Structure formats: structure tokens, C-alpha cells
A and B are shown apart, each in its own frame.
Chain A
Amino acid sequence: MKLGTFRFSRPHDLVITLKPRLSVGIVIACRDGQEKLNLVLASLSMQSYPAKLVSVYVIDDGSANPLVLPKIRPKNTKLVAYKNSEGKWGKTAATSDVVSQIKTDVLWFIDADMVFEPDHLAHHMKWHHDADDYVVLGWKRFVKDWQYTPEELVQRLTNNGFNDLHKESWGKELWEARVSLTNDLEKPGIDGYRAFVGATFSMKNSQWKNLGGYNRKLVTGEDTELGWRVFVNGLRTVVDRQALSWHLGYSTVEVHKNQIQRHNDPTFAQYIPQMYRIREKSKFNWLVPTYQVIVDARETTLDQILKLREKLLATPGSTARFTLLAPWSLLNRRYTPVSDLYTDLREIRNWLSQDPQFVLETIPADQLISIEWILEEFEVGSTPYYVFADAQTSINLKELTEYLLESEQGLVGVVDKKDQRAMAVFAPAIARATKFQGPLYQNISDLWGIQWLNDDQFIKLQRGKNTLIKHFFSFLKREGRKINSPRQLFIFLKTLFTLIARELFRRG
């Protein structure tokens, strides 16, 4: 398997493959909307990618009037009637079930209300011919109305008329801004995943299967959640600005924003730890923790562990799962409370062992904990940060993970004057590292970069950045760009006020 070799970087000179060899399955899940579907299929019939490598799967997810295949369509088009029943309805379920049967090399998922430029698919496919870990997003503009028939559409596409189909169109400004700010997702930061939208995206079939496809628990917003997993898995999301399309009408999210948010927010919060704003609204526990933390709890106190946790979870809405390493089995030996060799260890166990945030793992009292051993202990999933600490570390683990993100390294660690180590690992780095042969540590170093500092160096970096003021100005700059209407201005002011209030409150 050919994967990215340095962070999210990708070539900038790819051109459409002259002799393509990869087969592609185009997946369109529909419920009603025959008229738009006819246009989609008409534009697909004009794709320049070789027809013999293309199969189209139109999934009818319980349309009131069963869908039919129109006359103008790609040669190899199948209509799959998805028989609805409890738990078997909706785009997510229909797509997942049908796709599990598709064997093409690549899967291209599209909405049923799109018109594609003839080279659109070819642009997606050039990436898949280059490597196996791309997830490609096409470029789209929204249009309010359209007057053409499938026949007229074909006619106009034949005459290079794609760009002239619509005089008036809208982009999603937030989306386009996010894409531009992240260098077309080459530097996605931690929020770049939000640019992942489902209207036109493609990936290798094997990646879809590795990821487990859509999360069936999401009825809408399944693309955002998939985008998060694509990101934490270290796959490279590419936005191809040459893969053009028109989106016929506004998306449902735009039209019913509040209702959709009310519906999606709690589910997003379960699966996407980065959704702090939603998570901070409650003190509920969430399915996917923000941090997976392994602590060497030998030679420490309950107080130290609790302090470590308190500092790590200072951001409202963040959660963690802790694995505490110690020779717990020693506690089974006979003792009396007044002459207990393991007072601290026993206290830690007896206070924390029933809290679901904590897992106690037994290790020998004299085990030397190597970096490779730690990396193999992490259970890599949708959590973005993996942290290890010798319990007596003087380092604030939250600051360490913030520095990890800032540094763009795959792993950063700090060792202090008392030989106590603390390190943080970035999910995409460790996830991709597991897909290569050889030791994880070496792979992370090769694929993402590593950095070790001592406590003095780390403290200097923390002082130097003057976090709060710098963050405030970057917030103003970032959010200020989004103001394009009185409503956006209101949202901006509201967020600004909340942030200031929170800071004041926190500082007493």
C-alpha cells in the first residue's frame, strides 16, 4: 500500500492519468427527486474517465414513486432498490449496505442533486492512481434554479459549456475560507476535518472498509463524522479545485440550520472530541475521550494524579481515559493499615478503581517503560491525543498537547530534572505509523517528526508565546473573516462576549 510519507503533504503537479487502470463505483443514494437524478446521470454519462472502468449504483432508499433509470445514463448503471425496514432506511444505512457489496478499486460518493464537469471524476482518479490514502473532495458551487433538460445538458457539456450553465452561483464561504486557510487541507490543523462534505468525495474501497464506512448511528452529518475519522486515521484529504460541479439548490443543512443542529449536536459530541463547544454545554460523559492517557503511577500519590488530571482537563468539554500503571497485584498481600508498604498505591486504587475514567493495569514493580512499549499500549481510535506521563512530571499535560499541535510534530515529549517524562502523540501520526512495517516510534519520527525538550526549554516556549493574548488576536482575525451579514456579526459578538465572560469567570 502506498501512503503519504510526510504529514499531510501531497504532490502539486498531478495531472489527469493518461492510461488509467483503476475501476470506480459511483454511489448515489436517493429518496425521490427523479428529475434531479436524471440530470446527475446525464452529466455522469459525459465523464471523460473511461466508461469501461465505471459502474454506477443508484440506490433507491424508499422513494414514494420508485425511481427509474432514465435513457441518458452511463453504460453500466444499476438501480438498487433498498428495501426499507426498521434500522434499514436512510442514506447512511442504504449506502453502507450497498457499498459493502461493491468491489471496484475506488468509491465515489455523490449527492443526487449535482451536475459534474466532464473531467470531474478524472480529477478524483488522478489522486487514487498516485497513492492509496487520499480522500478527494470535489469543488462545488450552489445554484438556485436550472432550466435545462438532460438532453440539453448533454448538448451543452459536449460543447464545453459547463461553466456557462449558470450565470449566478454561490459558494459556501465558510467552507471555502476553511479550505484556503488550511492550504487546501495540506495543513488541516485540528479543525480542518470540518471541510469534509459528502456531496462529492472519493476514496479507495480498501480505505472505506478500513474506516468502517459511515457510522450508522448518524442519520445526517454522517459526512462530518466520517471526515473526523479520515483525519485521525492519518489519511490525506485533498480538495481538488479542478473537479468542478454545480449543486442544484441549497443543501438541507443550510435551509433548516437550527433544527439540524439540534438533531446532530449531541451525536457529534459523542464521536468527535474536538466539538468542545457542544460538549461544554453539559457535564455528561462522552463516548470518545479527548485524551487517552497512560500514567506510570508507581512512586506517586493520589494528589499528584488528581492534579495531573485537573490540569489536563481545564478546557470545558474535554474528557480523558486514564490507564494507571502500577504493580497493583502487590496490594493483595497481607497488610495492616498502620504498617502498609503501599499506602499511596492502595489509596489511589481505592479511590479511583470504580470510576470509568480510570483503568488500572498491572505492571511489574521494576519494569522499564520504553517509548515503543508505551506507543504499543495506546488503543488508537477516534481520540485525537495520546498522552503518557511519569506521574511525578512537572509538565502541564494540556499545555503539552497544545504544543504538540502547534509544533506540527507527530510526537513531542518533555523530560524534567527529576527524570520524569511526559509525551503527547498526535492521532494521525500514530494511526499512519501502524500501517507501516517496523517500530511505531521510528515510523512516527519518519512520517511526522518527533521532538524532545527538557523542562527549562518547554517552560521558555510557554512563556514566550504569551498564550492568551496571542490566542485572542488569532481568534479575532479568524472569526472576523467570517462576518458577511448582520447575523454573522451577531454570532461573532455573542461568541466574543461568551469567551471574555468565561475568562473573567475563570480568573475569579
Chain B
Amino acid sequence: MTSGLSKTLNRFTTFSQEIASIETLRKNRRSKIKKYPTLSVLVSTIRPDDLTSLLSQLMNQSLPTFEVRLGLHGIELSANHKKQISALNRRKVKTVVQKFEADNTLGTILSSLASGSNSEFIAKMDDDDFYGPEHLRDLLDAAIDTGADVVGRAMNYIYLEPLDVTLRKFGRGSMQTVEHFSDWICGGTILAKRTSAQAAGWFGDGKSAVDHYLLSGVTNNGGKIWRTYGAGYIYRRGFTPHTYVTNYSKYLNNVSEKVVGLWPHQIFGEHR
């Protein structure tokens, strides 16, 4: 296993040091990979605007080829979405669209999308989060390198939309340490061996806690979860309807750094 980063990175690690170690790690991992396994990306979406953003992030992925299984949860594709999808197909990203009635649960949709795939790996992506161009490839790198059943990211970057800031939280807090086995990873970054996920019962059929369903299922079956670094993924806490309280203020504890807007670095893609 290539990574020894969990021992060298801590809460004093600066952003540029973090990026430098990631680049070294990535180079080492990739030097051993000749061919990538097949991958299906599962997306369930109820927000047309967010889908536009996610489709363009998928288009920018550096992983040469993969499949997208797109579940439309009570919405229709716009003309622009269709254009984006044909562009994806042209760049060897086969996109399969499946429609679901509004009364389906998130768990049902994801499980159904997953069971329809034949790839060696499945990955889940959330339409409201932000993914850098190396996201999928980094996750596969980590999965191949560590042999884990599931790989996902730490929560190191959080975008709070009502404050329009991205927080960097690094090296402290149970969700912020990187490059080690763990029972928790960010739900929007799950990448799993198809066989392990299937044995765990995919994402269940619940309305929420679908990520927990899969992760605990894998762990209960004796599987292992690897938590890789969070850079390249920004978890978003968006505006919520006025009466719906989420207490996003808790994310402001133990912040290492923050910037206005989305974190401006190539690892997160171009957002400005």
C-alpha cells in the first residue's frame, strides 16, 4: 500500500503542503496502474439546475471511460441536459437515463440504478456537491492500491451557501483525518466494489441514511472502508427553506482556513 500520509499529515498541514503530498501519492499510485477497472456512476437527481452542474463536472473527469446511470427523480431532462448527455456519450461516457416517479425513495432509486450496472465498481455522486476533475480516478487509484471494498473521501472542504464560504478543516475531528481505514466517509464520494455493495444490499430502500445503509452493510459483512483525502471534493450545505433548520453552524468549529466562494484551486476544477 502506497499511502503513509495519515502519519505525516496533521492539523498544522497547510493547504499547499496538503496538495503537494496528494500529488506525490497520486503519482505513486498511478505508476502501478496499467488499466482501470470498469465503473458505473450512480446519480439520483431532483434539481434540474444542479444536474446541469453535475453533468459538466462529469464531462471534465480525467478518468478516460466510465458509465453514468442517471435517475431522474420526478423531473424531466431539459434540452441543455440532452446536449450535455450526448457530449458525454461522445467522450466515451455512456449515459443511461432512468425515470422514477416522485414517490420513490432515494434508497430505491440508487439501489435500482446500481443493480442495473455490470461494472466492477460503482460510485455514487450527489448532484449538489462539487467534484474536481480527478475525483473518480483518485477514488479508483485508492481502491486498487488499498484493496478496500469501499473507498471515499474525508470531509475536508465544506461550502456553506448561506455564508458563501468554503471551509477547510484538516487533520482534526473524526471526519477530517485522511488515508486510513474507517467506518465513515462522505456519502457523496462512495466508490464500492460491485460485489461488496450488492452483498450489503446496495443502498436499501429508505428515504434517507442510504449511505449509512451501504457502509454498515459492508462493514457487517467484514468488508473494509478506506478514507482517502478530501481535496477534490467540496461538500455543499445549501440554502434550505426558511422554516427548515439544519444547524450548519456546527461546521464552523475547528476550521483551519476559509475562502469566500468555492475554493479556487485546480484540484476542485474551475468554478470561477
Contact = CB atoms under 8 A, between A and B. Distances in A.
Interface of A: 298-299, 366, 368, 370-372, 413, 415-419, 421, 439, 441-442, 445, 450, 452-457
A114 B249 CA distance: 58
Given A371-B164, A452-B165, A457-B252, A445 B259 contact: yes
A418 to B, nearest CB: 5
Contacts of B222: none
Interface of B: 160-165, 239-243, 245-250, 252-253, 258-261
B272 to A, nearest CB: 9
B164 A372 contact: yes
Given A370-B164, A413-B163, A418 B247 contact: yes
Given A419-B249, A445-B260, A454-B253, A298 B165 contact: no
Given A415-B252, A418-B245, A455-B249, A441 B162 contact: no
Chain B CB count within 10 A is highest, among A416, A421, A454, A457, for A454
Contact of B245 (A419, A439, A442): A419
Contacts of B252: 415, 452-454, 457
Contact of B260 (A298, A450, A455, A456): A450
A419 B240 CA distance: 9
Given A454-B250, A454-B253, A455-B249, A415 B164 contact: no
A370 B164 CA distance: 7
Contacts of A419: 162, 240, 245-249
A442 B161 CA distance: 14
Given A415-B249, A417-B247, A455-B249, 7 more contacts: A370-B162, A372-B164, A418-B247, A419-B248, A441-B261, A454-B249, A456-B253
A415 B240 CA distance: 14
A198 B96 CA distance: 74
A441 B242 contact: no
A230 to B, nearest CB: 27
A452 B258 contact: yes
Contacts of B163: 371, 413, 415, 421, 452
Nearest to B165: A452
Contact of A421 (B162, B253, B258): B162
A421 B165 CA distance: 13
A298 B241 CA distance: 12
Given A442-B260, A452-B258, A454-B253, A415 B162 contact: yes
B165 A368 contact: no
B153 to A, nearest CB: 23
A395 to B, nearest CB: 11
B105 to A, nearest CB: 26
A92 to B, nearest CB: 41
Contacts of B248: 415, 419
Chain B CB count within 10 A is highest, among A415, A442, A450, for A415
A388 to B, nearest CB: 12
When A and B form their complex, which 5 residue pairs have the shortest distance between CB atoms, in order from nearest?
Answer: A454-B249, A454-B252, A368-B239, A445-B260, A415-B249
Nearest to B252: A454
A442 B261 contact: yes
A299 B243 contact: yes
Nearest to B241: A366
Contacts of B162: 368, 370-371, 415, 419, 421
